[in-house]
Every structure is written in C-alpha cells, then in structure tokens.
Amino acid sequence: MKKIFITATDTDAGKTFVACALTQALINVGKKVAVYKPIAAGCQQVGDLLVNEDAQLLSQFSNCKQSISEVNPITLAAAIAPHIAASNENRAISIEEISQGFSKVTSLKAEVVITEGAGGWRLPIYINNNIGKSAKKHILLSDFAQDTKQDVILVINMKLGCLNHALLTYQAIIADGLQCIAWIANTASDQVMPYLNENIASLEQLLPMPKIAQLDFYNEKSMSLNDKINAAANKIDITHLL
C-alpha cells in the first residue's frame, strides 16, 4: 500500500483540488484509492454530522465506498486554526485519534491512500502549555505523517513568495526523515503570477524531486468543479508514483 500525504505551501493552495485530481488519475489507471482528511476546521451541520466540504469532495472521488466520517474523523465547526477551534470546544486533538482514523482507512486495503493535510506542513494540533515541565512536546500534523512514514507530495501555489515557502517546506519534510516524492505547480486563483514559467524553472532547479504537473487556474464558467478536477487529473504524470 502506498501512503501519500498531500501538503502545500499554505492554506488555499490547492491541496483538496490536487488530492482529488491525483485520486482520479490513479483510478483512471485501475487503482483502488482511499482518501483521508484527518482534521477539518470549518464544517456545516448536516443532520447529526458536522460535514466539511473538502472531506465531501474527497469522498466523492474515492473508489472505496468510504463514509464521510471515515474520510474525516475530526470535524471542528469554526474555520480557524484547528488547535484553537478544538480548545474552544473544550477538546484536544491527539495523534492517537488521527492514527486510529488512519488505521480504519488502511484496513480498506486500497492500493493507494491519499491523505490531505491541513494548512501547511507545520500545522499545530496541540500546544502543550507545560513544555519544559514535562517531556511532552507540542504536537504537529507533520508528526502524524512522520509516524506513519508517508511519502509527501508538495503542492506549490504559484504566487509571489512561493519559492521561500516551497524551500522551507521541502527542508522541513526532509528534516523529518520523510521522502518528498514530487511537487505540483498549481495556480489556485485567477491572478497569474508574473514570470510564472521562470519561477517554475527556478523551482525545478532548486528542488530535487520531479514536478509531476503544472496546473493552470481553471476559470471556465461552463466547467463544474468535478470537470476541472477531471481535467487536472489528465495533466498529472503518475509514472513517478507507481
């Protein structure tokens, strides 16, 4: 089973868009693909459940018949930093909870499990106020990726400042002892970066892993989000991943 963790240079960089497109690209070549979104902050009440848009979209693309709460076990109502949302709800997010949810997903015996992170690589999930007094450290979502030895794909939102964010993220992934197996250049807004191609060429020189897609911003009103994701799926070179 291949475990792929999708991270990005920032929030709103296109992690969900790319995770869905990658899931579809792998399904298109006959793979069984499960998805996982451990933590989502920003959910709507639907019946008894708090439901997050990213998780909903991801579960539509999975071909493993996953329920929404399997895809996304930790749901927080407010669209704010997850550890603050959790604290406001008098709860604490733990790595154990995230790992238990992941075990349920891996038990589906998919060939690939695609996990979408939250925010960027160093997302705090629990801040330990007693640090110094106890050995327990602050907990970050990257600790989960590290514990489960996932291969990481870095989505770079092509905008001014992305070279710095991309390099810092890459270096942090490597420092955690993980493999950053690929990156994707995404444009997640209708503001096309000046000198886009030159910036992509610079990243190709700065980063050692392969770029497996360059995704333009799909702005066509006639296309549904699913159409856009399907179009993006056809642009991803999955040969490096299999």
Active site residues: 37
Handedness of CA 216, 220, 224, 230 (dihedral sign): negative
Q: Any residues with CB less than 8 A from the CB of 65 and at least 6 apart, and which?
A: none
Q: How far apart are the first and last CA of the chain?
A: 11
The H or E element that residue 229 is part of is helix 225-233
The three-state secondary structure class of 6 is strand
Are the C-beta atoms of 5 and 113 separated by less than 8 Å? no
How many residues form the binding site for ligand ATP (CB under 6 A)? 18
Instruction: Tell me which residues in 1-20 interact with ligand ATP (CB under 6 A).
Output: 8, 11-17
Residue 71 binding ligand ATP, by CB under 6 A:
no
Q: Which entry of ligand ATP, Mg ion, none binds 217, CB below 5 to 8 A by partner kind?
A: ligand ATP
How many residues form the binding site for Mg ion (CB under 5 A)? 3
Q: Which entry of ligand ATP, Mg ion, none binds 187, CB below 5 to 8 A by partner kind?
A: ligand ATP
Of the ranges 53-61, 132-140, 211-219, 224-232, which one interacts with Mg ion (CB under 5 A)? 53-61
Please name the residue that has the structure tokens 């996953």: 66
Beta-bridge partner residues of 5 = 115, 152
Residue 24 binding ligand ATP, by CB under 6 A:
no
The H or E element that residue 127 is part of is none
Q: Which is nearer to ligand ATP, 148 or 157 (CB)?
A: 157
Of the ranges 28-36, 94-102, 173-181, 217-225, which one interacts with ligand ATP (CB under 6 A)? 217-225
Residue 187 binding ligand ATP, by CB under 6 A:
yes
Interface with ligand ATP (CB under 6 A):
8, 11-17, 54, 119, 186-188, 215, 217-218, 225, 228
